[in-house]
Amino acid sequence: MSTSRQQRLHPTKQKKRRWPKVLIGFLIVVAVLVGLVIAFPFQTNNALRSAMGGRDTPVDTAAKNELIKKLDSTKTGSVAGDELISEAVSRLRNTSMQQVRDAAQSSSAAAKLIQQNTGLSDTQAQALSSFVFSHPQFSGMRTAVADGDWLQAYREYQQLTSSGDIATLRSDIQGQ
């Protein structure tokens, strides 16, 4: 056997390929994160909102944009009515979803938000807030909004609309 002294003292090491292990590890981490986002969407959104200091997340912005589209679709062509809707849209754009979530948890916070963003007086806003918080049919929607679960809030809204509870709320507001 003819091996040189150099080869005996410093045997060459074969380089191990680590990138397949790193790639597999990375893919597992990504799959787990995607799974968490799919399994716990609104909790993930709430964690992201907390990390962002209470500012709106992309999901919040999308939910707000859908709400704005819904409001815009209610315009009738009446100058006065459309002006009110445009003002409501403008105020909604400037209200953070964190404020909306806080209002869904507390009657006084809801009354304050209603009074600040509508033409209602303080007593009217308090009465409206009390009405929503005292009637159990609105608790599902309030809970969904308070949790930041916008999809569930939309489902609750559809259920309230089909059962006529939203119409009752509207007539109560107009009656004051």
| Residue spans per domain, the chain | 57-174
In this prediction the pTM is 0.66
**1/93 Cα distance (integer angstroms):** 82
pLDDT in tens, 19-56: 667 777 777 777 776 666 565 566 776 777 777 777 77
pLDDT in tens, 58-115: 877 888 888 888 878 878 888 877 887 788 788 888 888 888 889 999 999 999 988 8
- 71 in Cβ contact with 92 (< 8 Å): yes
DSSP per position, 72-127: HTT--S-HHHHHHHHHHHHHHHTS-HHHHHHHHH-HHHHHHHHHHHSS--HHHHHH
